[in-house]
């Protein structure tokens, strides 16, 4: 059965997942040190709760969320805080960012999170949100948006639709696929917790049509849970079907407004990995201190999916995969389409690390020399945001902010589809990624200028009015001197 394709655009590309899904999930080896960047989630950096020299136990909260959008951090092992200093981080492409460094004493003494509750049905939805926040849960799909913040902003009266994203469309990444295969019960448990926290009545788990084993496991888990609110929806394996906005239009047939959030149309989207992490926190009292990381690519000897503690160095994961092959050439965090290129492997796994690709020349299709755009339109046929990348490229040089805005540069999701198909080998995604902040800055300064102009005019009008009133008063005062008023 091939489901109807509701999104336009996208690519059917080779998934490269078979290598890493051959074996079941195994635990990554423990590390001597764990490095935890304080800003590894979206929003504001967390505030440290520990000092250098403090002893911490496994699961102990070591940083609390800053006011606003932020998340808790927990110690992945027991040991000592040996530094709080800037360390290179993968989400900063290797640039240093303030991190807590914990040495592992190897004893794994657990910290008892006394606040933990195991029966979420007993607490109110609001308490459930707060509880999820205390577990340090963030979106594990790659953006690491704090889950509790997302839930709180999505609460609505008749309850939103919950959408669990199991459509892992990017090539190479298979951590969600193995999770769905092996821990489907966790996902269903997490889904029920999320349904409760959101007062939602329906949960749809989206899964791609090329992972039959995971589909079977999930169906079985849903049946076992006897929860009629949860259903499975198979979507076509098209990149980027798993993009939040693309998935919503595939599953529900409605689009998310360009200036809004999924919550505006009554949908909350969460990754299946996030649901499983919530299950572990609520049921097993384990906050988010580990995640499944896919290690794959032709540059590593054995591909695998490893249950990895947050903060483990990449190099240690590569060692778990048997080390680099001599063909190794590029290190990527994420998939081959949107993954971040990393300059070295002395970087910690963060909550958003779903995959590490050690890519060799066999994985990378070298780009040819860049040619001028021939406006063939191949890019516009694959754009999942329905843009005209060839026109955007045309207006990049000379830079024309008005046309770029009109042609929707800010609606670009940087998926790289246009780049992939471009016969002229133009690095379109990179150009758009670079130009978006420039355009945003310009629009901001224009908005500020408009506001300043409005205030200036308002002030001038006010001064004129005051002046006129003043003159009228003067005239009023002078009048009696000329003659008594008749009234």
Looking only at residues 172 through 231 of this chain, which bind another protein when binding is defined by CB under 8 A?
none
The DSSP symbol for 370 reads -
Q: Which of residues 388-417 bind another protein (CB under 8 A)?
A: 388, 390-391, 406-408, 411, 416
Single residue of 115, 452, 461, 468 touching another protein by CB under 8 A: 452
Q: Which is nearer to another protein, 293 or 426 (CB)?
A: 426
Residue 381 binding another protein, by CB under 8 A: yes
Residue 12 binding another protein, by CB under 8 A: no
Single residue of 253, 372, 437, 484 touching another protein by CB under 8 A: 372
Distance of alpha carbon 296 from the chain centroid? 21
In the complex, what is the shortest distance from the CB of residue 244 to another protein, in angstroms, rounded to a whole number? 11
Residue 266 binding another protein, by CB under 8 A: no
Q: Which stretch binds another protein (CB under 8 A): 77-85, 223-231, 267-275, 366-374?
A: 366-374
Single residue of 245, 280, 309, 351 touching another protein by CB under 8 A: 245
Residue 250 binding another protein, by CB under 8 A: no
Q: Which of residues 335-364 bind another protein (CB under 8 A)?
A: 336-345, 357, 359, 363-364
Q: Is 169 annotated as a binding residue?
A: no
Q: Which is nearer to another protein, 108 or 411 (CB)?
A: 411
In the complex, what is the shortest distance from the CB of residue 397 to another protein, in angstroms, rounded to a whole number? 12
In the complex, what is the shortest distance from the CB of residue 297 to another protein, in angstroms, rounded to a whole number? 10
Query: For residue 100, which phi and psi values (nearest 5 degrees)?
Result: -100, 130
Q: Say how many CA atoms lie within 13 Å of 75 toward its Cβ.
A: 32
Helix axis angle for 147-154 and 125-134, nearest 10°, is 160
Distance CA 189, CA 261 (A): 26
By CB atoms closer than 10 A (0-12, 13-18, 19+), residue 14 is exposed
Q: Which of residues 290-329 bind another protein (CB under 8 A)?
A: 315, 324, 328-329
Q: Which is nearer to another protein, 75 or 318 (CB)?
A: 318
Could you tell me which residues come within 8 angstroms of residue 72 by beta carbon, excluding any fewer than 6 positions away? 46, 61, 63, 64, 65, 133, 134, 135, 136, 287
Residue 252 binding another protein, by CB under 8 A: no
**What number of other Cβ atoms are within 10 A of residue 319's Cβ?**
17
> 191 and 126 in contact (C-beta within 8 Å)?
no
Give the H/E segment covering residue 165. Answer: strand 161-166
Tokens linked to 330: 């590029």
Site map for another protein, 63-102, x if CB under 8 A?
Answer: ------------------------------x---------
Distance CA 246, CA 243 (A): 5
Give the H/E segment covering residue 463. Answer: helix 428-482
Which residues line the annotated binding site for [4Fe-4S] cluster? 373, 376, 379, 383, 412, 415, 418, 422
């Amino acid at each position: 059965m091939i489901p109807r394709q509701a999104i336009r655009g996208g690519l059917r590309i080779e998934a490269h997942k078979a290598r890493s899904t051959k074996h079941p999930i195994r635990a990554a080896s423990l590390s001597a040190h764990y490095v935890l960047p304080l800003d590894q989630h979206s929003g504001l950096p967390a505030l440290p709760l520990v000092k250098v020299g403090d002893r911490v136990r496994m699961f102990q909260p070591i940083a609390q969320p800053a006011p606003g959008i932020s998340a808790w951090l927990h110690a992945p092992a027991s040991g000592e805080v040996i530094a709080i200093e800037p360390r290179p981080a993968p989400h900063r492409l290797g640039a240093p960012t303030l991190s807590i460094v914990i040495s592992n004493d190897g004893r794994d003494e657990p910290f008892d999170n006394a606040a933990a509750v195991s029966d979420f049905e007993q607490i109110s939805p609001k308490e459930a949100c707060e509880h999820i926040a205390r577990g340090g849960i963030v979106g594990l799909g790659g953006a690491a948006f704090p889950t509790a913040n997302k839930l709180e902003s999505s609460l609505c009266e008749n309850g939103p639709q919950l959408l669990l994203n199991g459509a892992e469309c990017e090539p190479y990444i298979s951590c969600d696929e193995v999770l769905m295969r092996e821990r489907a019960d966790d996902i269903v448990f997490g889904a029920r917790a999320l349904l409760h926290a959101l007062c939602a009545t329906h949960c749809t788990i989206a899964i791609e049509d090329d992972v039959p084993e995971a589909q079977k496991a999930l169906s079985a888990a849903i049946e076992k849970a006897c929860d009629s609110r949860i259903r499975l929806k198979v979507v076509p394996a098209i990149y980027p079907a798993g993009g939040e906005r693309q998935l919503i239009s595939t599953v529900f047939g409605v689009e998310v407004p360009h200036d809004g959030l999924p919550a505006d149309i009554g949908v909350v989207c969460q990754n299946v990995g996030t649901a499983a992490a919530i299950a572990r926190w609520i049921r097993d009292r384990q906050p988010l201190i580990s995640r499944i990381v896919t290690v794959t690519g032709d540059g590593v000897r054995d591909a695998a999916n490893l249950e990895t503690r947050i903060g483990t160095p990449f190099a240690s994961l590569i060692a778990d995969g048997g080390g680099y092959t001599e063909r190794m050439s590029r290190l990527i965090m994420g998939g081959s389409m949107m993954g971040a290129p990393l300059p070295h492997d002395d970087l910690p796994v963060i909550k958003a690390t779903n995959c590490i690709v050690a890519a060799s020349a066999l994985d990378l299709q070298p780009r040819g020399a860049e040619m001028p755009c021939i406006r063939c339109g191949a890019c516009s046929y694959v754009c999942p945001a329905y843009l005209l990348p060839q026109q955007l490229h045309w207006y990049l040089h000379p830079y024309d902010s008005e046309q770029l805005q009109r042609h929707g540069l800010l609606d670009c999701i940087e998926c790289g589809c246009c780049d992939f198909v471009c016969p002229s080998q133009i690095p379109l995604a990179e150009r758009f990624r670079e130009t978006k902040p420039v355009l945003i800055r310009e629009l901001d300064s224009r908005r500020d200028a408009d506001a300043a102009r409005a205030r200036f005019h308002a002030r001038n009008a006010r001064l004129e009015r005051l002046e006129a009133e003043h003159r009228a008063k003067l005239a009023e005062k002078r009048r009696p001197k000329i003659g008594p008023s008749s009234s």
